[in-house]
Amino acid sequence: MARQPDGPPPPPTVQKLRIRYAKRGRLRFASHRDLARALERALRRAQVPMAFSAGFSPHPKISYLGAAPTGAASEAEYVEIGLSVRCDPEAVRAALDAALPEDVAVLECVEAGEGTGSLADRIDTSVWRVELPGMTLEELRPAVEELLGRDVVVVAKRTKNGLKDIDARPSVVSASASAGAGCAILHVVVRQGTPAVRPDDVLAALAAVADLHPPLPPRAVREAQGRLDDTGTVADPLDPDRTAGAPDQEAHATV
C-alpha cells in the first residue's frame, strides 16, 4: 500500500479568486519565477487563507497565466488563487497590493463565477505597445506596412533548445505605428501560440523585411490580454466573472 502523509488532509478550496496585476518600473526586469516568489510571500504577509494541495509537499493553489517576458512591463498579468475560507475580493486585492513591492500593483480581484469556465480558455491574444527611442514614425510606418504585406516572415527565436526558425507572421493579428513620448511607437496585437511570438520576435520580423534596427533598447508594455473575437476585439477575460456575480452562500471573511 502506498504510504500516506501523516495528519488530516488540507481544507478544501471553497473560493477561487482571479487577479489582474501590473509589473512596472524596475520590476519589469524580474523573471517570472522571481515574481511568483514575491507573490507567494505577499500572500503570506497579507494573511490570505490559501488552500493547499495534498501530499507530502503541499503547495498553495496558485495558477499563473501567460507571464510577460523578462524585460517587458505589463498592465495585464493574471493569476488565479484558491482559498480555504471565503473572503471579500476587494479586501484581498487591497491587502495583497499593500504587501507587494511598489512596482507590482494589484489592479483587480474578482471571484470566479460558477459555470463560466477556465480563465486560461479566455486568453489567446496579447496587445502590446512598444516604444522605440531614437526612431521616428517615418522610419517605422513603412516597415510595419511591409510586414503586414508579407505572408511568411521567418525569424530565429531563442528557445530552451537553442535557436529555432519560426514563421512570426501568422501570429501578428494587426500592427500600426504612431508617434509619442519623443519616439516612434509600435502597436501590435499578437496571438499567443507555441512557441510564443513576443515583441522581440516582431522586431526581428521588422528587421527581416525592412532592415529596421532601433538604435536604443525598446520599451515594451503589455496593455491587455484576452480572447480575440471575430471583430478583432480582445475581450477582457474577467468580464464573465463580473457578469455572473459571486454566489453569496456564506459571509465573506476579512483579510
Q: What pTM does this model have?
A: 0.89
Other CB atoms within a 10 A radius of the CB of residue 25 amount to 12
Domain 15-120+237-244: state its class.
alpha beta
Contact 241, 110 (CB under 8 A): yes
pLDDT in the model for residue 230: 85
CATH of 124-235 given 2.40.50, 3.30.450, 1.10.3470, 3.30.70: 3.30.70
Higher pLDDT among residues 193 and 191, named by residue: 191
Confidence check: pLDDT of 245 > 80: no
DSSP for residue 87: B
Give the mean pLDDT of 161-169: 90
CA distance 181 to 16: 40
Note the helical H segments in 137-221.
137-148, 199-210
pLDDT in the model for residue 232: 84
Confidence check: pLDDT of 71 > 90: yes
User: Given pLDDT bands bounded at 50, 70 and 90, which one contains residue 253?
Assistant: low
pLDDT in the model for residue 7: 61
Q: What Å distances lie between residue 176 and 155, 160, 185, CA to CA?
A: 20, 31, 8
Which amino acid appears at position 27 of this protein? L
pLDDT in the model for residue 29: 94
| Segment 192-236, tens digit of pLDDT | 988 889 999 999 999 999 999 999 999 999 999 999 988 889 999
Direct distance between the N- and C-terminal alpha carbons of the chain, in angstroms, rounded to an integer? 41
The domain ranges of the chain are 15-120+237-244, 124-235
pLDDT in the model for residue 244: 81
* Grid cell of 183 as nine digits: 519616439
pLDDT in the model for residue 249: 44
DSSP for residue 229: -
pLDDT in the model for residue 122: 94
| Segment 99-140, tens digit of pLDDT | 999 999 999 999 998 888 899 999 999 999 999 999 999 999
Would you say the CATH fold of 124-235 matches that of 15-120+237-244?
yes
Contact 202, 72 (CB under 8 A): no
The closest of 198, 209, 25 to 125, measured between CA atoms, is 198
Task: Map residue 77 onto helix, strand or coil.
Answer: strand
Give the mean pLDDT of 15-20: 97
| Segment 39-59, tens digit of pLDDT | 999 999 999 999 998 877 888
User: Given pLDDT bands bounded at 50, 70 and 90, which one contains residue 4?
Assistant: low
Confidence check: pLDDT of 246 > 70: no
pLDDT in the model for residue 139: 97
Contact 84, 14 (CB under 8 A): yes
Strand partners, 131: 185, 219
Task: Map residue 91 onto helix, strand or coil.
Answer: helix
